[in-house]
Structure 1
Amino acid sequence: MRPIKTLLSLAIATGLVACTDPSATTPPLTPKTSSPLGAEQQMQNTASAAFLAMMDEYSKTLLRLAPTLATSLGVTEDYLGIKFNDKLGDYSVNSIATAKALRARMAADLSKINRAALSGTAATTYDVVAASLAMTEKFEPYVFGGFSPLNIFTPYPVSQLSGIHIELPRALQTEHPLNNANDVEDYLTRLSLLGPALSEHADVVRFDAKQGVTPPQFAIQGALNVIASMTKPAAADNPLASSLGSRLTAVTEITAQQRATYVARAATIINDKVYPGYAALAAALQEILPQAQTEAGIWALADGEKRYQLALQNYGAGDKTPEQVHQLGLAEVKRIQGEIDSLLTSLGRSEGDVMTRFIAMTEEPSFLYPNTDAGRQKLLADLNKQMQTVEALLPNILLTLPKASVEVRRIAEYEQDSAPGGYYTSPSLDGSRPGIYWINLKDTADWPRFSLPTLTYHEASPGHHLQTAIAQEIKDMPMIRNTLWFSPYGEGWALYAELLAKELGLYKDDPYGDLGRLQSELFRSARLVVDTGLHYKKWSREQAIAWMHKNTGESVAAVTREIERYSVWPGQATSYKMGQIRILELRALAKQKLGAQFDLREFNDQVLIHGAVPLAVLSNNINAWINSKL
């Protein structure tokens, strides 16, 4: 992306996280031939089978608390033991205590397990869950409304970029099934619950503020702007009503008259319940606005230094200090700018500072799509063509290929002002919904033509979609693992995938596309600098924007959205580069030790076929594979 990863941070069991973890050595898994709706426990070892059964029960507990996540994953009512597509979950202050109690209970049960008796998927799952619980325990004194048992994504439950005010409407519009009249009734029931959920979450905002935890003022104002945009239309024109009507046109059993009735009911619910819920949340944000910090960094909160060190650990920095991460970023920026300089010079663009030359190139009309509906459609068509091209080449870099499809969609206009440039949402486990690569088309100038191939390779294949779909198709993957996301692993793979695209020859006759790839890596390296700048070196929002614009070639508008994102998601922006660096280190190690036995396709498989894991577990998996080859 330039981005997010899963946008399920609202769910109690999900989010964008990464944790350090205990060491583990696990044998490779075997990919399955079809996507199940639950973990297929085919374990010969009794201890492993019992452990996976316990994890499966916890999976059900977590999903019952997060019904929209259950819908997103595509599990069945039989699996979960309840009907859930007509529920939203608890977004009140009480949910915080529930989450902390569940974390404690899981940790107590895990402490009774003999790790040495586990093997295969069970052993990896133990290490993954243990690492997640250990990380959230460290965060517990510092995170309140954003607390989940296995994930800490952001300390702020509501911001301009994330929170239930954005994520629940998105889930209803894009993930709630609408295949028959019963599905529509469930949709309307969920819609009626949205207003109360927003009202209850207003109390969470106040609760956090009483603990001294508020987003920066510009982030609160951004959230208020999102709410204003969402509630501006007449209820019948709200996306929650209009998208219902448009989606139902594909349901043959529902007549036009019935469809109109459903849309009218939705509009009534929006007017009577949803809009008042948004008003309650907006009121709470207005209340805390005067006391919120004017600084962009988490250092402005009490214990800010401790909070940020935890955030860096959470996102893959390990034991590196903020200063070390900052210096690593500066070194990588210098290296990549040197490569960009050489390539620009080879193209006859040698006059002036390297990034001045690059920025000037991004503004040339020949590289820009018209900022019109026709221009946006052409851009989307080009992205689809790029996805088809790379799909045919995947057997050159992988042995295991996913079955789930992926498609590209535009980010909804009501959220594009505060949304990132692009992101990916995963397919459902039952195959009913594809993976979706979302792109922000507010201004097509943000996407010069030469920048798009790399975005595609990052978000779709061989990036996020490839990694996520393969993980979902692992034969004996326990459900709890499908609720977890480790940003250094997932974003690290996606950044590594951009390099794989070059190794596939996709830039061989496209030097400008290769410039786009280098600029993308430069962008991720610059994040190390500005994230630590904001949260450790006490840079202002404006200082970070100016530095990033000057050093990456991104437009001021795009960089502004990025900096505001880093402000409310401390540490997450560092996960891309930290993960890529570790994967490349492991590949170099495998090449060194295996020599002629090294197979790139086999190495890439070993990174992916264990599913999403913390970086330390990934390291041990690769070392185990190397030793097995030797």
Structure 2
Amino acid sequence: MPASRLRAAVAALFLPAAFATTIAAAVVPSAHAATPAPSAKAAVAPYKAFDQWADKFAEDWVRLNPQLATSTQYFSGAEQARLDRELTPLSPAYRKKVQDMARAGLKRLDGFAASPLDATQKISAAVMRWSLQNVIANEPFEDYNWVFSQFSGVQVSLVNYMTNTHPLRNAQDVDSYLARLDQVGTRMDEALARGKGAAAKGLIPPRFILERAQFQVDHFLKPAAAENVLVTSLTEKTATMKDLTPQARQAAIARATRIVEQKVRPAYTRVQAHLAEIHPKTGDVAGISRLPGGDKAYARALENFTSTKLTAEQIHNIGLREVARIEAEMDKHLRAQGLSEGGIEERMKQLDARFQPKGEGDPRPAIIASYNEMVRDAERRSASLFNLKPRAPVDVRRVPPLTEPSAAAHYTMPAPDGSRPGIFWVPLRGPTFDMIRMRSLAYHEAVPGHHFQLAIQQEQTGIPKFRSQRIFSGGSAHSEGWALYTERLAVEQGWYEGDVPGLLGALGSELFRARRLVADTGIHTKGWTRQQAIDYGMGVQETERYIVWPGQANAYMIGMLRILELRQKAQAELGDKYSLPAFHDLVLGAGSVPLDVLGELVDNWIAQQKKA
């Protein structure tokens, strides 16, 4: 791609000042969030009482959620081993316990408001407060999130957890797996009770969402117990386990088979009956506004996921403006590719058709291999842009069959003990594949996107463990905003030079995130139908994801625009003292923080650099 054209593409992508002003004004300030000290001279010694309380509170918070304890390997020894044998409850009593603890935590944070906290402690307090406030504010609306949604419902999340997250390293882990497997039926019944309670209040999903869940449950029940994924995954992962004798392995597989047959399958059958019972009561209206109190539930979701006070109407309008801007840029490049007839989406499909896999055989292994090479290439390209880099490796894998029909690409963090790498999960449903967006997706989910962000945070030693392990964090706007920012960064840094189709794929990915603002608010506040969102360019799986997860789709673009605004502010105020790798270190080194805390960090960093 000629340098002049690349510069024009990059210039067209920069954040218009009007958008920045809108978002900056709407960022929600954390109550009692004190600004970190602007210089070393103003710094104070750590306040030990806060650290002692915060560390203990975080530990108690993790103890409430054994699955979180396992995924983060938060403890060690006997305590970790005990938690590795438990599945997190889904009962009303458990939810009340979480709420009570969150309120107690906020009350104690109030007591530290006037304490002499140092800069790190102030950030930690603000992050904890933001997280706990959301736990409490979200509780009245929890049943608006259907417990059996096709995207992250209990019927799939428990299976994914058992087969992908629960560690199987040795004989003790096998015994823990069996103990947990014995609880799956109970957790499904707890979820069923919650689903029935929500249905009694009229909180039921649209019919097409219900039918997705029915398909998943039916798919789970189709094989006999011995062929169920909960048994076959255990069989596969214990095949080479050194401290497990052949006799013990066969006994474990036999016990797993009995548990699935006697407890797990009957629980899924009860869920199957419930779904069939409520099916006649469902309809085709997609948005949360169809539900009693749905407008308040959506407003809460927007604040939770964007960490701003932006209204649905404001977000809708930002989306429309961003769509127009990106489509104008894409039109130039599509015309240069000889594609001038039809809308942007139609022409992008024509371009993508040119790059579909050709030849006989299953192309999926080659696609996964290509993704892995793109990630390795991104690691090389990132070397000059980042001082902080993760030690943990990242791998690319295909999404498991149970969830692939409705899954989106996503990232899971590496195990802290090194037993599992960071994983970029790719759904490859076929028969066609989204080839020209592969690079931007690899940058978003892996390097330098979520893998850099989350693995670096996990490995940080300069922040408390409860922040490095994301026990308390800044939410989706920060994490998804960063991942989308890295897609933009790749364009700005010329990573697509000589690859105009790839550049169009990147622009198409950003357009997709801008359209999300329009479609999500359209579905949930403007009466958009499922088909309207699909016709707008969202795709079936993505549209249905937004329907069951209201508000989350807005986090990406809103978060990215805020990060860009803060970067531009730093560039403008620091001039020659500005360093892009240093800015990246600041954003990544603090871990996941709410957008208002990120703004404070950048302001103080600017002040420090000016004095340096």
Determine whether 1:473 maps to 2:459: yes
Determine whether 1:26 maps to 2:3: no
Following the alignment from structure 1 to structure 2, what is the Cα–Cα distance between the partners of residues 140 and 266?
35
Following the alignment from structure 2 to structure 1, what is the Cα–Cα distance between the partners of residues 90 and 326?
44
Q: Secondary structure at the match of 2:396?
A: strand
Following the alignment from structure 1 to structure 2, what is the Cα–Cα distance between the partners of residues 444 and 408?
20
Partner of 1:202: 192
Tell me the CA shift for residue 44 of structure 1: 7.6
Amino acid at match of 1:211: K
Amino acid at match of 2:30: D
Amino acid at match of 2:364: R
Q: Secondary structure at the match of 1:143?
A: helix
Partner of 2:142: 143
Q: Secondary structure at the match of 2:411?
A: strand
Amino acid at match of 1:488: A
Distance 1:370 1:478, change over 3 A: farther
Tell me the CA shift for residue 80 of structure 1: 4.7
Deviation per residue, 1:274-319 (Å, 9 max, x gap): 1112122233333344444542111111222221111111121622
Amino acid at match of 1:72: S
Q: In 2, are the aligned partners of 1:20 and 1:131 still within 8 Å (CA)?
A: no
Determine whether 1:525 maps to 2:517: no
Tell me the CA shift for residue 473 of structure 1: 1.6
Amino acid at match of 1:207: G
TM-score, normalising length: structure 2: 0.90
Q: In 2, are the aligned partners of 1:92 and 1:201 still within 8 Å (CA)?
A: yes
**Aligned equivalent of 1:429, options 416, 421, 430:** 416
Q: More relative contact order in 1 or in 2 (CA 8 Å, sep 6+)?
A: 1
Alignment of 1:605-624 (within 5 A): 605-624=585-604
Amino acid at match of 2:605: W
Following the alignment from structure 2 to structure 1, what is the Cα–Cα distance between the partners of residues 401 and 319?
33
Alignment of 1:77-226 (within 5 A): 77-78=76-77, 80=79, 83-115=82-114, 117-144=116-143, 155-226=145-216
Q: Which 5+ residue runs of structure 1 have no aligned equivalent? A: 1-17, 31-42, 145-153, 550-558
Amino acid at match of 1:91: L
Task: Let me know the Cα RMSD of the aligned residues.
Answer: 2.3
Determine whether 1:45 maps to 2:45: yes
Partner of 1:629: 609
Amino acid at match of 1:201: A
Deviation per residue, 1:96-137 (Å, 9 max, x gap): 222222222222222221255212221111111212222333
Q: Secondary structure at the match of 1:438?
A: strand
Distance 1:115 1:396, change over 3 A: farther
**Aligned equivalent of 1:348, options 332, 338, 345:** 338
Distance 1:617 1:414, change over 3 A: same
Partner of 1:11: none
Partner of 1:315: 305
Partner of 1:403: 391
Distance 1:164 1:373, change over 3 A: farther
Tell me the CA shift for residue 260 of structure 1: 3.5
Deviation per residue, 1:539-583 (Å, 9 max, x gap): 11112111225xxxxxxxxx1111111011110001000011001
Distance 1:536 1:171, change over 3 A: same
Distance 1:452 1:29, change over 3 A: farther
Q: In 1, are the aligned partners of 2:131 and 2:472 still within 8 Å (CA)?
A: no
Q: In 2, are the aligned partners of 1:332 and 1:525 still within 8 Å (CA)?
A: yes
Distance 1:164 1:45, change over 3 A: farther
Tell me the CA shift for residue 240 of structure 1: 1.1
Deviation per residue, 1:347-386 (Å, 9 max, x gap): 232233333221222223xx11369873100000101111
Determine whether 1:461 maps to 2:454: no
Alignment of 1:211-610 (within 5 A): 211-292=201-282, 294-316=284-306, 318-364=308-354, 367-369=355-357, 374-420=362-408, 422-443=409-430, 445-448=432-435, 450-481=436-467, 482-485=470-473, 486-548=475-537, 559-610=539-590
Following the alignment from structure 1 to structure 2, what is the Cα–Cα distance between the partners of residues 232 and 546?
34
Q: Secondary structure at the match of 2:425?
A: strand
Greater Cα shift, 526-535 or 210-219: 210-219
Deviation per residue, 1:197-235 (Å, 9 max, x gap): 111221111122233333323222221211111121111
Q: Secondary structure at the match of 1:437?
A: strand
Q: In 2, are the aligned partners of 1:21 and 1:132 still within 8 Å (CA)?
A: no
Amino acid at match of 1:25: T
Tell me the CA shift for residue 183 of structure 1: 1.2
Q: In 1, are the aligned partners of 2:170 and 2:244 still within 8 Å (CA)?
A: yes
Q: In 2, are the aligned partners of 1:28 and 1:609 still within 8 Å (CA)?
A: no
Deviation per residue, 1:466-522 (Å, 9 max, x gap): 000111122143333322451110110000101222234321121111111000000
Deviation per residue, 1:585-616 (Å, 9 max, x gap): 11110110001111110111111100001111
Following the alignment from structure 2 to structure 1, what is the Cα–Cα distance between the partners of residues 102 and 387?
37
Following the alignment from structure 2 to structure 1, what is the Cα–Cα distance between the partners of residues 343 and 88?
53
Following the alignment from structure 2 to structure 1, what is the Cα–Cα distance between the partners of residues 480 and 155?
25
Partner of 1:12: none
Q: In 2, are the aligned partners of 1:157 and 1:205 still within 8 Å (CA)?
A: yes
Structure with greater helix share of residues: 2
Tell me the CA shift for residue 340 of structure 1: 0.9
Amino acid at match of 2:440: T
Q: Secondary structure at the match of 1:408?
A: strand
Following the alignment from structure 2 to structure 1, what is the Cα–Cα distance between the partners of residues 368 and 290?
41
Q: In 2, are the aligned partners of 1:75 and 1:430 still within 8 Å (CA)?
A: no
Q: Secondary structure at the match of 1:436?
A: strand
Following the alignment from structure 1 to structure 2, what is the Cα–Cα distance between the partners of residues 113 and 214?
42
Deviation per residue, 1:232-273 (Å, 9 max, x gap): 111111111111111112323334554343223212211111
Amino acid at match of 1:433: R
Identity %: 37
Following the alignment from structure 2 to structure 1, what is the Cα–Cα distance between the partners of residues 510 and 175?
46
Q: In 1, are the aligned partners of 2:147 and 2:195 still within 8 Å (CA)?
A: yes
Distance 1:521 1:111, change over 3 A: same
Alignment of 1:67-78 (within 5 A): 67-78=66-77
Deviation per residue, 1:52-91 (Å, 9 max, x gap): 2222222222222211111111223349577111111212
Distance 1:583 1:51, change over 3 A: same
Q: In 2, are the aligned partners of 1:19 and 1:314 still within 8 Å (CA)?
A: no
Aligned length: 578
Amino acid at match of 1:399: N
Tell me the CA shift for residue 418 of structure 1: 1.6
Partner of 2:13: none
